[in-house]
Amino acid sequence: MGSRVQLALNVADLDVAIDFYSRLFGAQPSKVRLGYANFGLDDPPLKLVLIEDQRSAPGSLNHLGVEVGTSDEVSVTSARLAGAGLTTTEQFATTCCHAVQDKVWVGGPGGEQWEIYTVLADADADAPQPPSACCSRAAGPGR
């Protein structure tokens, strides 16, 4: 798999959002969990993440990301970002967005949070996942 951009949006009603994005992209979600869904699209190459969050404005940005194929790519990117003088936060073998991931976070100039990550494994579907654990604006550097 090559890399693809991730866009994580806050939604008020997950079922309504899944219906809309399924019709928009002509695809069904790759994963649906309580309060969470994602679409792993090839055309366009996009990982669309929907996070049900009644506290945030519907359609607002939750966070951005770049999904890469391996943990080595995460490590190389982390070193490159640190070498460029950016503040990063690394998380390895962390359970986030219903998957076990290696990732590095970096904050953009407007406060937007970017994660560069790879998925190592699917997480237990029945395991509760607090929304602030990772897939929220509370995650990442300075949060």
Report, as an integer, the average pLDDT of 23-49. 96
Compute the radius of gyration of the chain from its Cα atoms. Answer: 15
Backbone φ and ψ for 124, nearest 5 degrees, come out as: -55, 125
How far apart, in whole angstroms, are the C-alpha atoms of residue 27 and residue 98? 20
pTM as predicted: 0.82
- Mean per-residue pLDDT, 43-56: 94
The CATH classification number of 4-133 equals 3.10.180.10
Q: Of all residues in the chain, what percent carry a pLDDT higher than 70?
A: 86
Are residues 99 and 121 in contact, defined by beta-carbon separation less than 8 angstroms?
A: yes
Tell me the per-residue pLDDT of 76-126, one tens digit each, with 9 for 90 and over: 999 999 999 999 999 999 998 888 999 999 999 999 999 999 999 988 766
- Tell me the domain boundaries of the chain: 4-133
